[in-house]
Amino acid sequence: MSDSAATDAGIVSTARSPDGAAVWVDGLVKRYAEVEAVRGIDFEVATGEVFGFLGPNGAGKTTTINMLCTLVKPTAGAARVAGHDVVRERDDVRRNIGLVFQDPTLDAYLTAAQNLRLHAELYRLEKKVIAPRMRQVLEMVGLWERRSSTVGTFSGGMRRRLEIARGMMHSPRVLFLDEPTIGLDPQTRRSIWGYIGELREREEITIFMTTHYMDEAEWCDRIAIMDHGQIVALDAPEELKSQVGHDRVTINTDDDDAAIAALRERFGVEARVHEGAVTFGVPGGEQFVPRLFDEWDPAHPPIRSVSVSRPTLDDVFMSHTGTTIRDAEEDQAKNRNRMMVQMMGGGRR
């Protein structure tokens, strides 16, 4: 059978990954009926790397992690984690990974120590190593003094740290973090990343995480930007931002549509409304602003305020997709609501 025929038939490739890659993905696809959640992605993650998937909710990030963690079977393509095939060697993959889910999975009625001990028994850790390992991981996330407290008394940030400690109990080679700080305040998120950084240094572990927070993605050695099931860019954060080639200028006016038309006509700039303001990119934003005010026609709506910022990862996402991550999430939420309405309407018929 040809490669293309095998892919069409949903047969997962048996191609082997290069030596040394903690995660290797080749043409990975996942379809649900008519929906193609992941559309043939390729990438590698080096051992010891902090690798991030950045993109809006619904981009395919969680589906990819679920395939790599053997929770979902790929429709086509191949993937290896810690040297093991995610389809043919599921048990070996699971023994070598830790996983922190997006949704909480701790037992709130048990203590922190009881949650970790249960996890250790599920992974069949030797009894003699459970107690010292538990102390080690709880100290790493600053929760050793709360080991006898029930999880129900913990704050959101403490629960997240405990979930990370639980994922580390069996000394995995690759730790998967699916939106590890979602719903937490910025200060707690920074604290969580401090603990993750310490884990990386102490355990020499590979970390694979998903996020839709821009500042969080900056912590990664490399990031893959994902949109509609495809990887649209992959590189180190600074390299991706340097490729944008322009600064972001944001202006506030009384008539956004008229301002956008004026920018196009007078300056040849294509602008859009993002997050309530007119936004566009130009080389040398600080030099452009004086010209903007000098040449702005008094007949146009007055500019109330202006700001200039260096390229961000959101600018990278926008340069590849034509929209910001927040706008993409809003569009996807509207599409999901529309589909739900249609499904409910079909059910009534």
pLDDT tens digits for range 28-55: 999 998 889 999 999 999 999 999 998 8
Mean pLDDT lowest for which of 99-103, 284-288, 317-321, 328-332? 328-332
Mean pLDDT lowest for which of 54-58, 86-90, 285-289? 54-58
- CATH topology identical between 3-235 and 246-310: no
* Whole-number pLDDT of residue 344: 57
Per-residue pLDDT at 221 exceeds 50? yes
Are residues 278 and 339 in contact, defined by beta-carbon separation less than 8 angstroms?
Answer: no
* Whole-number pLDDT of residue 337: 56
Identify each DSSP E strand in 128-276 by its residue range: 174-178, 206-211, 222-227, 230-235, 247-253, 272-274
Mean pLDDT in residue range 324-335: 59
Q: Higher model confidence: residue 211 or residue 155?
A: 155
Burial of 220: CB neighbours in 10 Å, binned 0-12, 13-18, 19+: buried
Decide yes or no: CATH 3.40.190.80 for domain 3-235. no
Architecture in CATH of 246-310: 2-Layer Sandwich (3.30)
Q: 40, 43, 45, 44: which is closest to 3 by C-alpha?
A: 40
> Sign of dihedral through CA atoms 184, 186, 187, 190?
positive
Tokens for 344?
A: 């409910």
Average pLDDT along the chain: 86
* Whole-number pLDDT of residue 256: 94
* Whole-number pLDDT of residue 328: 58
Tokens for 20?
A: 């040394």
Tokens for 111?
A: 């203590």
pTM: 0.76
Q: Where exactly are the structural domains of the chain?
A: 3-235, 246-310
266-274 long-range Cβ contacts below 8 angstroms, 24+ apart:
266/295, 266/296, 266/297, 267/292, 267/295, 274/318, 274/324, 274/326, 274/327
DSSP conformational letter for 22: E
